[in-house]
Structure formats: structure tokens, C-alpha cells
Structure 1
Amino acid sequence: MKQKQLLDIGVDPDDIDFALELVQKAREKGLNKKKIHRQLQLAISKPDANFTNPYFGVLAKKVFKDRAFKERKQPAPWEIWGEDLPEGAVKQMENACRLPISWRGALMADAHQGYGLPIGGVLATEGAVIPYAVGVDIACRVKMTVFDSPAQDVDDNKDFLIKTLEKDTLFGIGKAFDRSHDHPVLQEDWSFSKVTKHVKPRAIRQLGSSGSGNHFVEFGELTLTHGALGLESGSYLAVLSHSGSRGAGSAVANHYSKLAMKLRPNLPKELQHLAWLSLDSEEGQEYWQAMELMGKYAAANHHIIHKKICKSLGAKPLLQIENHHNFAWKEMHDGKEVIVHRKGATPAGEGDIGIIPGSMVNSCYVVRGKGNESSLLSAPHGAGRVMSRRQAKRSFNWTDVNQVIKSKNVTLLSAGLDEAPSVYKDIDMVMRHSENLVEILACFQPRIVKMAKDGERPED
């Protein structure tokens, strides 16, 4: 048998040489290829039932011992921002800090329950990366372009700006352009793994598009009450986008999440979505490379959107800002290199410029990080949901929601009812709880908003 066959069966990379020795001995004793494959498969998938296997029992015992879950004697320390956070999110953070690889954590004020690590969860680990702690929409990000035009243009040129959004953006699951865009990210190596090679054709077709769920592109008014960001105080026309790595990122996340769970089948049920990949392993290195590629791809999507809008407006940007979440970073904390997962949280190192959106009608804030080490240099990524999508659809109707939107002087081109403004926390409350994490530099007010059409499956 070859190494790849053993990996496909589920043999740990560290056990490959040992398994090959046992396979050779089994062959010498007359066991045929089909039986070797079957018995080896059983020893890996059900090690506790195969201790007496005459050929692979010793491997089964090793696998069982290696896979036994040994949680930390004391949970990794973590801190919380905000009040009355959802019980499910808090419990998920507690569970994450039980992992033997966990080092420290933090929970942001916009937190709500997710898969594995909660949205708004920050987790530093030692020598390992957790695909589900990065998230399904890898490297989801926000980007803002500020124009040398007064905010009054939102009203004076409203029809033109609406046409621009309709023409230059594309939203929805599976949506792709008839004519592909070009970008240097397509010249990157996509062939290093089976999954990235497989998704590249889809990534090419979707390059420059947005997803669904809470993804948006919107024109609005950026207001600076004092000189900041290299701009004079005043109000400017700006465009803000929020989306990630589309179908390619989702495929990468699902592939490596399943692989991690396959390699760690003995995790308790409540920790299964926190299965990790060692960065010393081939799988861990491969995922890390795929994650970084998806980061470049997500950035490319925004680059194309903003480039097209700038061209349509015939305008050069005064300023562009972007930051991302749903990612893992190698960072030094307390003199130690750790892997910092920020799932629905953004970097807020000292001087870092970031963007924290509210909802389709509420303020978005441009901020500067204060470098608070207790939060692992992190801040919220938005307002955070207060209810599920299903609950939102049961609770609201478009007649009432449209009245709220109109009262805020916002024009909504398209969106799902599950993105109604009331499904989000009060962004100003989130910002109050984050005062020791970031400094507010400017406020952006959405005025013309486009999202995926109602009924689309969420991709955020």
C-alpha cells in the first residue's frame, strides 16, 4: 500500500511508517491486499474493537491511546466583553478552553452561538489550527472606499448610485459571472491540494461577486467629527462591502473540518466541531496554505467590486480601508508564538485601522485598535445577531420592516427578511462594551443597500 492510501483510510501521518511495516509483515504471512485493506481500516476506524487483531492489533492500541481525549486540567483562561451574552455562546467558549491545545481566549460583545467556536470568539492555540474556529466563510472581510465627493451625493445622484450597485455587484449562492474577471490571485498555486485544485474553476467564475446572508454592498455617508485617517473633518460619500471567499472558501472549510473530525473521532460530542489539525502535520500545513489562499481570494473579490464601482463613478478614492475576520494568525503573545483564531472578531492591535458594521440601517464605525492584550488584540466584527434566521422569519414581515427602513432614510434594493435590522444587537451598545479595545474615528451611515434576494440560503 502507498502512503496516500493509508492517509485515505485515516492513518495518522505520524504512524505511516509503522503502518507500512505492519502491512509488509501481513503480506509475508499470506494476507491478500483486499483483506489487508479491510483489517487495517477496522483497526483505524474502530481501534477499541480490534486490540486482538493478529496483524494490526498493536496499531489499533496505539491509535486508541493517541486519540483518547485528555482535556486540560484547568481550562485555558479567557475573558468576556459585554453583558447578558447568549448562554450557548458562553458555553461554546468554555468548551473551547477545555482543549489540550488551547492557551487563552476572549469573547467579544457581539457574540452569538455558532459551530464549535462561537461567533465573536477568539481562541489562541499552541501548534494547531481548528478549521471550524476559523469558520466556513474563510477570510470574510469588510472594505470601504471613501470618495472625494460630499455625502449629499447619496441624495443628489441616488438613481445613478442605485444603477451602479445593480450593475457592478452580483449576489447569491452559486451565482457566477458569464465573463470572468482577472486578478493576480488566479496566478497563485491552486494545485497544492485536491480541494483547492477542484474549486479553482468555480472560484474563477465567482471572482468579484458577493455571497448571501449578511453580505452586502452599500453606499452611505462617512462622517469625521475631527481630522482622522488623513482626511479633513466633514462628511464624504463612501461605499462599504462585506463578503468572503464564496463557494471556494466553503469547500475548503468543509473538507478540512471533516478531515480534522475524522482524525479525532474520540472528542466528546460537544467538542467535535473543535477538532484540530497539528501544524506539524501535512494536513495542518495544507489547510494553512489553503486558508491563506482563500484570504487572498476574498480580498480579490472586494478589490474587483470597488474597482468596478470607482470606474462607474469616474472617481479616484481618497481612502480605502479593509479588515477581515474568520481567520487564524500566527502571533506572539507573552513571548510565545500561538495561533490566534478570530471567528467573527477582528484584529485590534495598537494602531490597527478596522471597520465594525451595524445593520442595514444602523451606524458602522471606523476604529483604531488600542492593543489590549487581554483580548488577544481583538475587537468585535459587527453588531451580532440576537435571534436565529428561522426565528426572524417567524417574527417579522416586510410591511413592518420596510417602515423601519424608510424611517431611517435608507433605500433597500434587496435583502432577506432574516437580515431585518431588529435581528441585530444595538451597535452602540457593542461599541460601549469595546471602549478599551478600540477608539472610534468615524461613523458611516448606510443609505443605499444591496444584499442577496429574499429566500437565498445564507452563506455568511
Structure 2
Amino acid sequence: MTLTGKDLIAMGYESGSWFAQAIAEANARNLQGGDLRHYLDRMAPPRKRPLLAEPAPVDWHLEAEGEDDAENVAAVRRTMDALMRTPTLVGGAVMPDACPAGPEGTIPVGGVAIARNAIHPGMHSADICCSVMMTEFHDVAPKDVLDTIHAVTHFGPGGRGNGERFTLSPKLLDAFRDNMFLKDAKIVQAAMEHLGTQGDGNHFAFVGVSSATGRTCLLTHHGSRGPGAGLYKLGMRHAEKMRRKLSPETAKGNAWIPADSPQGEAYWEALQLIRKWTKANHNGLHQAVVERLRARIERRVWNEHNFVFRKGDLYYHAKGATPVDEAFLPDSGGVQIVPLNMAQPILLVRRAEGAPDHGFAPHGAGRNMSRTAHKRRIGDRPDTEVFAEETAGIDARFYCGRIDVSELPSAYKDAGTVRRQMAAHRLADVVDEILPHGAIMAGDWEHDAPWKVKARAKWAAREAAS
């Protein structure tokens, strides 16, 4: 019997350009039965995967305790319902600090998405390995530490200029150049220039005193800067090519790279190298403070909260969720860091007894509204007045010299609410609090950026004309 295209379709294969070669070869070799099926399975392109008929299950640890909370919870539920129909997902979780982070169907901040044999670049976002490091000093005054980190750190766009750069490990740089994703010239350049920088947004340097020991602690919060953003861009580009082949119904932001493919293995390796770079970035800043103060340190703690973690063929995508499962903590003593806002203590936590299987806790306080909405709520009150009120009693600074009201405490969820829900859901136990002395953030550096100046001038001209 001569095999035809109709026979292949009847066998369940999707028609395509591969039919001609497969039919000719099968007929030439007179393949039948199991031999034919085995050959066709090897020749056929991957079957397109539809969206799941029902969303994968989600562990919910987010509750509404006010009007703003209620709107936020509803928005998070809508986006998780859409997200969890992605074909690779087998489960997820929502933390008490969760809030939407893009179009509906995008993983929210405070979300965890568990995929089988797939890495989703959009689910770890561009700020890969956003993380927090703490150094506890033996005997140094908080003000001295705050002044010193202010002198050695770098906030805002771009990297450090010539003569001001930190030294990147040659071994790590060589590993970047050997990886198919990280060898990109722009990524390699950023890896050298951005070392020792913290960026902007909610990233900070925080100095406080441990409730447990009475010692001064320095904490820094930032991600992988330019190298991570570059990897994310290339990862999304490759994932989009795969999405068109594997699952056109899947939203572009939820595209994935098959983890067992050569590209998936290279991307996983790239993530681990970005993790090493980010940890080195924190370490460089902390060591610069140690050396300037000639200080002695008691301990150093570090953990990421924006990353992909692995158990077998399951990939846990955490977008703003702190890992507390020891399987996700290869270089930690089990103590993790959860910052809330600049005026509240930073929490040191451990996994609670009887915690959920997913193994995550909140990463911070989260937001109930966007930066723009928060600014509208403040209204016409001067930034200086709001700043003075919300930072009373602490030494709060903005690196660029301009206040960013969207990073003041009122821009975030109530810290007490997040702590209550974390405890009620047995996510983590607080083992120490770092009481605030002061903090440094980037500030509103964009205010004087050329595009902002041009926009204000254009608006002023329109107002004058009308």
C-alpha cells in the first residue's frame, strides 16, 4: 500500500511541508506498523499545544483587608486565571505582597509559576536575580556605614566610567563569553561597566540595627542590571520563535524555551552565571564599605527573589517571591531577607514549620496601585512636605538629589498587613528585625532627563497657546 498525505492526517499528524519528504522515505523503505509510527514521530515537528482548558491550581496567600486591597486582589486573580492556562504550567502561588505587573495574563509581582520542562523568560522579567544582601558589622556606627555606602555606590542609569569600575572576575567573564546567550558584545560590556551599580526604581541601600544583636547592618537591593536585561531580551526573542512553533495561542509574554533543548540548557546556564554576577555586584559594594571603614564583619546573608529555581523537571518562576525551601538555597544558611519599606524594619525569616510545598514567602511590601496613581492620590502637596512626614526619624536620601514620592512608604502596601498574612499562611517565621537608621534610593533622576525636559517645554507651550 502506498502511503499518502491523507493517511498521515488520519494517523493524527498535522499537514505541513515535512509531509513530502516523510511520505517519499516511508514508501521507499516500505515502512509499516510500529516502524512507520516511530519514523513519523521523529520526522514530525512538535505538536502545537493549546491553552489549558482550566487554569492550573494556585495556592492563594493574598487577602483583602481594605478597599485598595480588594481592587488589587481582584486584579491579581484575573491575571493569574489567564496566566495559569499556559500549557507548560502545573501550579502556582500568590504571595501576600502580590500586585499586577503588566497586561492581564502576565505573572504578577509576588507570583510563582511552576512549569514542567520549560523556562519562561517573561516570568522572571528583565530584572533577573533581583536580590538582597546583608552584612552585619562587629562594631561600626550606623551613620558611618550609611555615609560610606553613599560614597561608594552608584544609582541611576548606565554604568561606571573609566577609572571608577569595579574588577570583574576573569573566570566569570570567560564563562560569559563561552555561553551562547551571554557572549553578546553588549552584555559582556555591560557586565564590566555595571558592576558596582544599583540602578533605580525600588532598589536601595539600607542601614539599620539588628534587634537580636544590636549590631549595625548594611543591606543592598538590586538585580543584574545591564547583563540581566540583555539576557532577558535575547531569551524573549528565542522564546517567541518557539512560541510560534509550539503554541501560537500562548500570550507572547508567556512564551517559553524547552528546558531540555540545547538552547534551554544554555539559557539555564546563563541564568546561573547572571546569578553569580549579581551576587558579585552586591559583594563588591559591601566589601568597598568594609575596606573603607576597616571594619570587621560578623556575617553576610544573600538571597534572590526574582529568579527561576529547579526541582527535577519542574521550573519554579518567582517574580518577587523569596525562596525559603532549602532546595532553592544552595549558598544560604536558611535565613532569608524580606524588606518592606524604608521606614519599616527589614525582616530576616526562615521557612515556617508546616509551610506550603511551593517553598516561597513574600519578597517585600508590594503595591496596591501604580506609581502614577499614587502620585495622583498625593495631589498638590509639595514633595518635600510628604517626604518629611513619611521619613521622620530616619536618614532617608535620594542619590540624584530629587525626591521620588513613588518610593516613599505610602506608595507600598501596609507592612503590617503583609506580615500578618505571611504568619497566618505559615509561609515564614521572623527571626530578626533590622530597625531602620537610614536608606538611599536613586530618586527621580528622570526629572532632568532630556526627554522629560522636552515634554515639559512642549506642555508649557501648549498651555501658553491656549
The answer to whether TM tops 0.5 is: yes
The correspondence for 2:180, drawn from 193, 207, 212, is 193
Q: CA deviation at 1:319?
A: 1.1
Tell me what 1:404 maps to. 389
Q: CA deviation at 1:213?
A: 0.3
Summarize the Cα distance change of 1:97–1:166 in structure 2 as closer, same or farther, 3 Å threshold. Answer: same
Equivalent AA in structure 2 for residue 211 of structure 1: G
The correspondence for 1:395, drawn from 363, 377, 381, is 377
Q: CA deviation at 1:391?
A: 2.0
Equivalent AA in structure 2 for residue 204 of structure 1: M
Indicate the SS of the match to 1:407. coil
Note the 1:171-320 alignment, pairs <5 A.
171-179=155-163, 180-184=165-169, 185-198=172-185, 199-224=187-212, 234-265=213-244, 267-268=248-249, 271-320=251-300
Is 1:419 aligned with 2:407?
yes
Is 1:66 aligned with 2:47?
yes
Q: Does the 8 Å contact 1:137/1:245 carry over to 2?
A: yes
Task: Report % sequence identity.
Answer: 29
Question: What CA deviation, in whole Å up to 9, does each residue of 1:143-183 have, x standing for no partner?
Answer: 00011127xx23xxx3x444312221001121324233224
Question: What CA deviation, in whole Å up to 9, does each residue of 1:85-106 have, x standing for no partner?
Answer: 4323222222222122111111
Equivalent AA in structure 1 for residue 194 of structure 2: Q
Q: CA deviation at 1:187?
A: 4.1
Q: CA deviation at 1:311?
A: 1.0
Note the 1:130-145 alignment, pairs <5 A.
130-145=120-135
Q: CA deviation at 1:448?
A: 2.1
Q: CA deviation at 1:305?
A: 0.5
Q: CA deviation at 1:18?
A: 5.7
Q: Does the 8 Å contact 2:308/2:315 carry over to 1?
A: yes
Summarize the Cα distance change of 1:313–1:399 in structure 2 as closer, same or farther, 3 Å threshold. Answer: same
Q: Matches of 1:386 and 1:281 in 2, distance apart?
A: 39
Q: CA deviation at 1:75?
A: 2.4
Tell me what 2:325 maps to. 349
Q: Does the 8 Å contact 1:211/1:243 carry over to 2?
A: yes
Q: Does the 8 Å contact 1:346/1:379 carry over to 2?
A: yes
Tell me what 2:350 maps to. 368
Equivalent AA in structure 2 for residue 357 of structure 1: P
Gaps of 5+ in 1: 1-16, 26-61, 225-233
The runs of 4+ residues in structure 1 deviating greater than 6 Å are 19-22
Q: Does the 8 Å contact 2:159/2:190 carry over to 1?
A: no
Tell me what 1:50 maps to. none
Q: Does the 8 Å contact 2:51/2:249 carry over to 1?
A: no
Tell me what 2:445 maps to. 455
Equivalent AA in structure 2 for residue 253 of structure 1: Y
Summarize the Cα distance change of 1:280–1:315 in structure 2 as closer, same or farther, 3 Å threshold. Answer: same
Q: Matches of 1:375 and 1:412 in 2, distance apart?
A: 40
What RMSD, in angstroms, separates the aligned Cα atoms of the two structures? 2.7
Q: Matches of 1:162 and 1:321 in 2, distance apart?
A: 18
Equivalent AA in structure 2 for residue 437 of structure 1: L
Q: Does the 8 Å contact 1:127/1:338 carry over to 2?
A: yes
Indicate the SS of the match to 1:318. strand
Q: CA deviation at 1:268?
A: 4.2
Q: Matches of 1:371 and 1:92 in 2, distance apart?
A: 30
Q: CA deviation at 1:366?
A: 0.4
Summarize the Cα distance change of 1:418–1:206 in structure 2 as closer, same or farther, 3 Å threshold. Answer: same
Query: TM-score normalised to the size of structure 1?
Result: 0.77
Q: CA deviation at 1:371?
A: 6.3
Q: Matches of 1:178 and 1:450 in 2, distance apart?
A: 24
Tell me what 1:93 maps to. 80
Tell me what 1:125 maps to. 115
Q: CA deviation at 1:66?
A: 3.4
Is 1:167 aligned with 2:151?
yes
Gaps of 5+ in 2: 1-16, 26-43, 65-71, 327-332, 448-466
